[in-house]
């Protein structure tokens, strides 16, 4: 890759990182009030364009942390860098009307490189969950107002290691450090009364602990140009060490000023937030540089977990189904960039981990995307759009209609070979 090309791509990467960092906005969804917030979509731009599949994806010039075994196919002299931004525009529809929200954030940072001929490594930072909501509940009968607010989330810094056992079989493990803070506040006020104390409480749960994901992939050629890959992942149930503190204030506002009755500042003993066991499997089938189809299925056992050592009635086991495809008209046609583009399409459906008022929320949508090669290199710009819906207006709940987008760069270069000149 020329110096000019590297400069352009690094400038683009810096722009992506700057945009993501400067545009952080935690306002996301009222459903993020429950559990550990909204579980982030997995995968980078390529995965998202194909409905979020990844367990059976296996390609040398892309990082696929969804299955840690996928890194086993990476070239022994290559270096991969990936970054991007993700955002959404969402319409919230409920019995009280509609409300629109927007969000944009840095989606990921990751690098991949070989340690040896048979051992490959990925290192990256991705979000695991996001919390961001502001809710007002007015009780006309009691002439009271409840205010609920939350922010923060859990991030995942992962070190992925993959070993190539045979030409067809690889295994891997992601060692992740989960960290972050979940901030929640609640306020009860009586605006029509100057003789009733209002109550404000704030809590913060700080998470920091290790989490593991194991994966395997088996890939074999069928005939000469076709390949079938089967992938599986497993995560064991993991308690994450959590420190929590509360601040509770009783306050009375009168014409003469404010009076505080009691103030409690309480730091709890170390507790835990449990991440559930997870099982997943998927496959891909395709022809080299022409087409690819695949599907994933996974189960997340949230109903058996606890948060801060207490069971949550609002959580249920989650199951996801994803299907996707990619088509490339002619990857060798250097006269037309559009014939070298990877066109992607997908669908996803999830029974989410939230069960409210006896109804488990559904999340489903369709995805479209493309991967545009940069010049004659293996680097690509990836774009995807996800049009979907979560929740329902029945049972006095909220329906979310969303459009999510993902813009990312996958930079591929040979950095581990010695140049020779004659």
What's the pLDDT at 422?
45
Per residue in 195-250, pLDDT (tens digit) is: 667 788 888 999 999 999 999 999 999 888 899 999 999 999 999 999 988 888 87
Residue 141 C-beta-side C-alpha neighbours within 13 Å? 0
More confident residue, 387 or 200: 387
Tell me the pLDDT band of 419, cut-offs 50, 70 and 90. low
Q: Which of 95-99, 161-165, 257-261, 372-376 has the highest mean pLDDT?
A: 161-165
Check pLDDT > 50 for residue 23: no
State the pTM of this model.
Answer: 0.88
pLDDT at 262: 65
- The whole-number average pLDDT for the span 382-401 is 93
Under the banding of pLDDT at 50, 70 and 90, the label for residue 49 is very high
pLDDT computed for residue 145 by the predictor = 82
- pLDDT interval class at 396 (50, 70, 90): confident
Q: Which is higher by pLDDT, 325 or 377?
A: 325
**What's the rounded mean pLDDT across residues 118-122?**
93
pLDDT at 148 > cutoff 60: yes
pLDDT of res. 196? 67
Separation between Cα atoms, residue 26 and residue 155, nearest integer Å: 14
pLDDT for 336 beyond 50: yes
Structure confidence at residue 22 (pLDDT): 45
pLDDT for the residue numbered 389? 96
Poorest-pLDDT segment among 58-62, 195-199, 301-305, 339-343:
195-199
Judge contact between 38 and 129, C-beta under 8 A.
yes
Element at 339 (helix H, strand E): helix 337-340
Query: How far apart, in whole angstroms, are the C-alpha atoms of residue 233 and residue 174?
Result: 10
With 80 as the cut, is the pLDDT of residue 6 above it?
Answer: no
- Phi, psi of 223, rounded to the nearest 5 degrees: 60, -130
Does residue 411 contact residue 372 with C-beta atoms inside 8 Å? no
The candidate with the shortest Cα–Cα distance to 149, out of 160, 137, 133, 163, is 133
> Do 149 and 192 meet the contact criterion of CB atoms below 8 Å apart?
no
pLDDT at site 333 = 82
pLDDT digits (tens, 9 = 90+) for 347-362: 999 999 999 888 999 9
What is the rounded CA–CA span in Å between residue 103 and residue 20? 10
Q: How far is CA 182 from CA 35, 55, 115, 396, in A?
A: 10, 29, 36, 26
Least-confidence region, from 47-51, 95-99, 276-280, 281-285: 95-99
pLDDT over threshold 90, residue 332: no
DSSP three-state, residue 7: helix
List of domains in the chain: 8-114+163-177+212-238+277-414 (2.40.160)
**Which neighbouring-strand residues pair with 65?**
none
Is the confidence at residue 86, as pLDDT, over 70? yes
More confident position, 138 or 182: 182
Cα–Cα distances in angstroms (integers) from residue 204 to residues 180, 245, 266, in the given order: 10, 6, 11
């Amino acid at each position: 890759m020329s110096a000019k090309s590297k400069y352009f791509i690094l400038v683009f990467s810096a722009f992506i990182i700057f945009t993501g960092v400067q545009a952080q906005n935690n306002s996301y969804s009222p459903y993020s009030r429950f559990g550990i917030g909204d579980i982030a979509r997995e995968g980078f731009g390529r995965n998202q364009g194909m409905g979020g599949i990844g367990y059976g994806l296996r390609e040398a010039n892309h990082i696929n942390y969804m299955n840690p075994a996928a890194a086993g196919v990476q070239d022994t002299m290559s270096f991969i860098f990936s970054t991007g931004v993700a955002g959404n525009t969402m319409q919230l529809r409920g019995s009280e009307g509609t409300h629109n929200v927007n969000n944009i954030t840095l989606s990921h940072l990751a690098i991949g490189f070989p340690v040896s001929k048979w051992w490959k490594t990925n290192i990256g930072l991705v979000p695991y969950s996001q919390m961001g909501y502001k809710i007002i509940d007015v009780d006309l009968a009691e002439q009271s107002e409840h205010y609920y607010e939350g922010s923060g989330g859990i991030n995942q810094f992962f070190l992925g290691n993959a070993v190539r056992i045979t030409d067809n079989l690889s295994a891997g493990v992601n060692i992740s450090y989960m960290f972050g803070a979940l901030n929640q506040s609640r306020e009860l006020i009586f605006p029509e009364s100057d003789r009733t104390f209002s109550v404000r409480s704030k809590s913060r749960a700080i998470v920091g602990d290790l989490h593991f994901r194991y994966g395997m992939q088996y890939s074999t050629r069928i005939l000469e140009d076709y390949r079938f890959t089967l992938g599986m992942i497993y995560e064991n149930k993991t308690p994450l060490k959590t420190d929590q503190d509360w601040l509770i204030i009783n306050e009375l506002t009168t014409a003469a000023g404010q009076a505080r009755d009691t103030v409690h500042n309480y730091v709890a003993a170390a507790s835990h937030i449990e991440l559930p066991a997870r099982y997943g499997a998927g496959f891909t089938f395709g022809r080299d540089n022409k087409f690819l189809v695949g599907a994933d299925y996974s189960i997340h056992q949230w109903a058996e977990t606890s948060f801060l050592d207490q069971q949550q009635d609002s959580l249920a086991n989650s199951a996801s189904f994803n299907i996707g495809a990619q088509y490339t008209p002619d990857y060798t046609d250097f006269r037309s960039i559009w014939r070298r583009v990877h066109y992607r399409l997908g669908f996803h459906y999830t029974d989410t981990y939230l069960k409210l008022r006896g109804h488990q929320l559904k999340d489903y949508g369709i995805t479209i995307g493309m991967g545009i090669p940069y010049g004659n290199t293996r680097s690509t710009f990836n774009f995807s759009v996800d049009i979907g819906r979560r929740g329902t207006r029945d049972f006095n709940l909220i329906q979310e209609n969303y459009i999510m987008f993902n813009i990312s760069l996958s930079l591929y270069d040979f950095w581990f070979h010695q140049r020779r000149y004659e």
